C-alpha cells in the first residue's frame, strides 16, 4: 500500500482537547477524528488496527464455540419495561418516540433483545446450551464524554451471552470465557488483571472485570502483593465494609493492599435468571418441569482496546504498536535515491513483502526525510525499512525496530527473511 493512496492526516501539534497520551496520539497519528463531543470517526489506520483487534476476538470466540449474530441497535421500550431497566438505566439510555409515538431505545446493551430471541424457540434442556455473541455499536448518553474513544457516546462492543440449564453448566462456561478473555487481551499485547467486581445495574451474582493498569485509568483497583487477590474498589469496599485506601488489609491474607489506577477493557457476569425470568425464556427439564434459563454475559469494550494498548505502549515520539494489532507491521521509507537503476527499488520491496504476507506501507510522499521519520515513529510501525543512497551503496536497507535504539544494515538479499521473522 502506498501512503499517497490512503488517508493519514498526521498532526505536528498536540490538539488542546486531548488530556491523555492515547487520545493525543490517536489524533496526531491520524487514527481518529472528532465529530462532536463523544463521537469519533475512524480513519484508515484506526480502522486497520480495529479490524485486527476484532479478528482476534472473533477467532477466540469461535474457538470457545460462541457463534456470531447481529442484533438491532433500535429496540422497543416494551422489552426494557418488562425487564425493569426502563426505570433503572437512567438518563444514559438514549430514548425517543418514533413516528407512531412508540417509545424506542438506542441500545446501550443487549440482554433484553437476546433473551427475547430465544423465547419460544429454545424449549427443552436438549436445546441448551446456547452461546452467542455480536460486535456492534452501543449508544450511551455520557454525562461527560472524555479521553477520546475511552469514554464516548457511541462505541463498538463485543457482547456475548450464554444460556445454560443449571448453575454448574454456567460455571463451566464462565471459566471458559474467562480463559478466552485472557487469551484475547494477551494477543492484543495487553497485560490485564482480572478483578472481582460489582454487578451494578446488570444484576446477577458473580462478576469479574479485566483491568489494564495505567496511570490515566479512570477506575481504581486494589491488589494484594501477598496472595494476588484483586478487586475493583467498589467491590472491595463492600466486601471489607470500610473505606478503601492504600495499605488496607487483604480479606484473604491480611497483608496490606495497593491501589492502582486502571482502564476497564472487559467485564463478565453470571446473570442467573434475572432476564430469562422477566422475559419468559424458559425450558423444560428432564422431569418436564418449566425452568428459567440460566444466563451469563461477557463484554469487551472493543474501541477501548486501542487506547488501552496505546496508553501502555508509547514513548515521547509516538505509539509502539505490538505487531499483532499494528495498522501495518512495516513501513518502507525511501529517501533520496540518485541511481536511476535503483529508482524502482522501494516499490519492488513493497511488492515482495506484500507477496510474502507482510503488510507494509510505502511512504511515497514528497516530503522531507525528517517528516517521514517523525511520522513513522508517531504512528509507531513496529518495523521501519529505510532505503537511501547511503544504504544502497552497501546493497542494503537500514532496518529499525520501533522501541529499539539501534538500527541495523541488512543486505537486500536477506531483507525479506529478516523482516518476516519479526512481522
Question: Does 252 sit near Zn ion (CB under 5 A)?
Answer: yes
What phi and psi, each to the nearest 5 degrees, are found at residue 286?
-60, -30
Question: Does 258 sit near Zn ion (CB under 5 A)?
Answer: no
Positive or negative CA dihedral for 29, 30, 36, 40?
negative
Question: Does 80 sit near Zn ion (CB under 5 A)?
Answer: no
Question: Does 250 sit near Zn ion (CB under 5 A)?
Answer: yes
Q: How far is the CB of 225 from Zn ion (least distance, A)?
A: 8
* Cell numbers at 369, concatenated: 526525510
DSSP for 64-80, written as a single string:
TT-EE----SEEEHHHH
Task: Tell me the C-alpha to C-alpha distance, in Å, between residue 62 and each of 55, 56, 291, 380.
Answer: 11, 10, 28, 30
Q: How far is the CB of 239 from Zn ion (least distance, A)?
A: 12
Binding positions for Zn ion, 199-238, rule CB under 5 A? 224, 226-227, 229
Pairing of the two strands 257-272 and 294-301: antiparallel
Question: Does 371 sit near Zn ion (CB under 5 A)?
Answer: no
Binding mask 82-111 for Zn ion (x = CB under 5 A): ------------------------------
Our CB check for Zn ion shows the closer of 226 and 344 to be 226
CA-closest candidate to residue 397, choices 345, 329, 358 = 345
Interface size with Zn ion, residues (CB under 5 A): 7
- The answer to whether residues 189 and 309 touch, using CB atoms and an 8 Å cutoff, is yes
Our CB check for Zn ion shows the closer of 251 and 280 to be 251
Window contacting Zn ion (CB under 5 A); options: 111-119, 242-250, 344-352, 402-410 = 242-250
Our CB check for Zn ion shows the closer of 252 and 422 to be 252
Our CB check for Zn ion shows the closer of 102 and 255 to be 255
Positive or negative CA dihedral for 44, 49, 54, 59?
positive
Q: How far is the CB of 231 from Zn ion (least distance, A)?
A: 11
Question: Does 3 sit near Zn ion (CB under 5 A)?
Answer: no
Query: How far apart are alpha carbons 192 and 262 in whole angstroms?
Result: 9
Question: Does 262 sit near Zn ion (CB under 5 A)?
Answer: no
Site for Zn ion, rule CB under 5 A: 224, 226-227, 229, 250, 252-253
Amino acid at each position: 500500500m502506498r501512503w499517497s493512496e490512503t488517508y493519514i492526516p498526521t498532526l505536528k501539534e498536540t490538539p488542546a482537547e486531548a488530556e491523555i497520551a492515547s487520545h493525543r496520539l490517536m489524533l496526531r497519528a491520524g487514527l481518529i477524528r472528532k465529530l462532536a463531543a463523544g463521537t469519533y470517526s475512524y480513519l484508515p489506520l484506526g480502522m486497520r488496527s480495529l479490524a485486527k483487534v476484532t479478528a482476534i476476538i472473533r477467532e477466540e470466540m469461535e474457538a470457545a464455540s460462541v457463534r456470531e449474530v447481529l442484533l438491532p441497535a433500535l429496540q422497543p421500550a416494551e422489552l426494557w419495561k418488562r425487564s425493569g431497566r426502563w426505570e433503572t438505566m437512567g438518563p444514559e439510555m438514549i430514548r425517543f418516540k418514533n413516528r407512531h409515538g412508540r417509545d424506542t431505545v438506542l441500545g446501550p446493551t443487549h440482554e433484553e433483545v437476546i433473551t427475547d430471541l430465544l423465547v419460544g424457540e429454545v424449549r427443552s434442556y436438549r436445546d441448551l446450551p446456547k452461546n452467542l455473541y455480536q460486535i456492534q455499536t452501543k449508544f450511551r448518553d455520557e454525562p461527560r464524554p472524555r479521553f477520546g474513544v475511552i469514554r464516548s457516546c457511541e462505541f463498538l462492543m463485543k457482547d456475548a451471552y450464554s444460556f445454560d440449564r443449571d448453575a454448574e453448566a454456567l460455571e463451566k462456561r464462565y471459566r471458559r470465557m474467562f480463559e478466552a478473555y485472557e487469551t484475547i487481551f494477551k494477543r492484543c499485547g495487553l497485560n490485564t488483571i482480572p478483578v472481582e467486581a460489582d454487578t451494578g445495574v446488570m444484576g446477577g451474582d458473580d462478576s469479574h472485570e479485566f483491568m489494564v493498569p495505567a496511570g490515566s485509568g479512570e477506575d481504581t483497583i486494589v491488589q494484594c502483593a501477598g496472595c494476588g487477590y484483586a478487586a475493583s474498589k467498589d467491590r472491595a469496599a463492600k466486601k471489607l465494609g470500610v473505606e478503601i485506601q492504600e495499605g488496607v488489609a487483604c480479606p484473604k491474607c491480611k497483608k496490606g493492599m495497593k491501589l492502582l489506577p486502571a482502564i476497564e477493557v472487559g467485564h463478565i457476569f453470571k446473570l442467573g435468571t434475572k432476564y430469562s425470568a422477566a422475559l419468559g425464556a424458559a425450558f423444560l427439564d428432564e422431569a418436564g418441569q418449566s425452568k428459567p434459563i440460566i444466563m451469563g454475559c461477557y463484554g469487551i469494550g472493543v474501541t477501548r482496546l486501542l487506547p488501552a494498548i496505546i496508553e501502555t505502549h508509547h514513548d515521547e515520539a509516538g505509539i509502539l504498536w505490538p505487531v499483532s494489532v499494528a495498522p501495518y507491521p512495516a513501513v518502507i521509507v525511501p529517501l533520496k535515491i540518485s541511481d536511476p537503476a535503483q529508482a524502482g527499488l522501494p516499490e519492488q520491496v513493497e511488492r515482495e513483502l506484500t507477496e510474502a504476507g507482510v503488510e507494509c506501507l510505502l511512504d511515497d510522499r514528497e516530503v522531507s526525510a525528517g517528516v517521514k521519520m517523525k511520522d513513522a515513529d508517531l504512528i509507531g510501525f513496529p518495523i521501519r525499512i529505510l532505503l537511501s543512497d547511503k544504504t544502497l551503496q552497501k546493497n542494503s536497507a537500514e532496518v529499525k525496530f520501533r522501541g529499539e535504539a539501534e538500527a541495523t544494515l541488512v543486505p537486500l538479499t536477506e531483507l525479506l527473511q529478516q523482516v518476516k521473522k519479526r512481522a
